[in-house]
Amino acid sequence: MENWFEVENADCIDSPALLIYPDRVTDNIRQLKKMVEGDTSRLRPHAKTHKMVEVSKMLIEEGIDQFKCSTIAEAEMLAMSNAKDVLLAYQPVGPKLQRWVKLIQEYPNTHFACIVDHPSSIKNLAELAKELSIELYIYFDINVGMGRTGASQDQIDGLWESLHNYPNLHLEGVHGYDGHIHDPDLKIREKESDACYKILKEVFDKLQKKSKDTLKMIIGGSPSFTTHSNRKDVVCSPGTFVFWDWGYRQKIPEQKFEYSAVLLTRVISIINETRVCIDLGYKAVASDPPLPRVKFLNADDAIPAFQSEEHLVLDVKDSKDYPLGKILYAVPTHVCPTVALYDRVSVIKDHQKIGTWQVMGRSRMLNI
């Protein structure tokens, strides 16, 4: 078959469906390693994109043993994959405090840490650790410009002083996420990435002088990875690279990852001579980007007109080219929340569906 994405036994795949191509996933992992000159200690991929045990194990097999995640379910999924080191890049509050500690107790072979940005979080974690006679590990979350979470530079002294009231709580380093960086112009991204790094490095240097332990710096996502991957003193946390998507293909063209997650959808209605409808509503593809939310791989003339929960209406040159049941393949603009819409994916190798993988981390709760 000419097109790498086409599936010969697609009749066994109901639509809409998410297809994963593991050979291309492996290529993406190896491309990521090349960008840090093979030094996997500088990589802490974010599991929010793939959310699957099988993909986690593929990363581990390539020598990547530390990860970042957003939810306790994702953290448990990573522990079930035998990940060595997991950072919850989310400050646990409310019931998450008890769940977090229980997770740590249930999976002793995985080292866990979480981020904090407020003295009350330090206090709550430390008191719970003392009650249970355990040690807990944290990173200070630093606001490097996004303004979503993280302590400011003038709050660091207060966090440090709070931490030293609690000997069972240990600081491992600092964490900064620069998700506000996404300009297609590489020079602009480099300038903005440098500014974020400068903030984090100043905090790091200040804390390292006070700490008896060797601290770490974790920074960045996908758009800033081009710049941060050249810094030997930081650990980088891209996530989208495993599957890649149309949005980042346009915004970050210098990163040479391949599409390895594709949506399969079918024509379900022929409206008129130039309009058809497919079964790809916004329950099947991330709706946070504006239309078009996908890039069709085998329908260059198809232009999304409007979308609803279970339907996507397309304007086409000639609807005769789109008979009922015709299969279209599309790459999502934003793959991470798209993956979260599916409880399982179809695994494709050599143009054949060879099995399914459970998207375990999409759940809000697994066992804990």
pTM of this structure = 0.96
Strand bridging mode 352-358 / 312-315: unpaired
Angle at 103 between CA 357 and CA 43, to 5 degrees: 65
Instruction: For residue 94, give every residue at least 6 positions away whose Cβ sits within 8 Å of its Cβ, in sequence order, or none.
Output: none
Structure tokens at 321: 């080219």
DSSP state of 164: T
Cβ pair 176, 219 in contact under 8 A: yes
Can you point out the beta strands (E) in the chain?
17-20, 66-69, 85-88, 111-116, 136-142, 169-176, 216-219, 235-236, 261-272, 275-278, 294-296, 303-307, 312-315, 327-332, 344-349, 352-358
Predicted pLDDT of residue 165:
87
Cis-peptide into 16, omega within 30 deg:
yes
Q: Which residues are paired to 276 by β-bridges? A: 270, 314
Backbone angles phi, psi at 8, to 5 degrees: -70, -35
Looking at domain 22-242, its CATH architecture is Alpha-Beta Barrel (3.20)
* Residue 192, beta-bridge partner list: none
Q: Given this model, what pLDDT does residue 1 score?
A: 52
| CA separation for the pair 40, 37 (Å, rounded) | 8
The backbone region for 203, taken as left when phi is positive above 0, alpha when psi lies in -120 to 50, beta otherwise, is alpha
pLDDT tens for each residue of the chain, 368 residues long: 579 999 999 999 999 999 999 999 999 999 999 999 999 999 999 999 999 999 999 999 999 999 999 999 999 999 999 999 999 999 999 999 999 999 999 999 999 999 999 999 999 999 999 999 999 999 999 999 999 999 999 999 999 999 988 999 999 999 999 999 999 999 999 999 999 999 999 999 999 999 999 999 999 999 999 999 999 999 999 999 999 999 999 999 999 999 999 999 999 999 999 999 999 999 999 999 999 999 999 999 999 999 999 999 999 999 999 999 999 999 999 999 999 999 999 999 999 999 999 999 999 999 99
Fold classification of 10-17+260-358 (topology level): Lyase, Ornithine Decarboxylase; Chain A, domain 1 (2.40.37)
Residue ranges matching CATH 2.40.37.20 in the chain: 10-17+260-358
What the block records as the tokens of 187 is 């020079």
Pinpoint the residues of the chain covered by CATH 3.20.20.10. 22-242
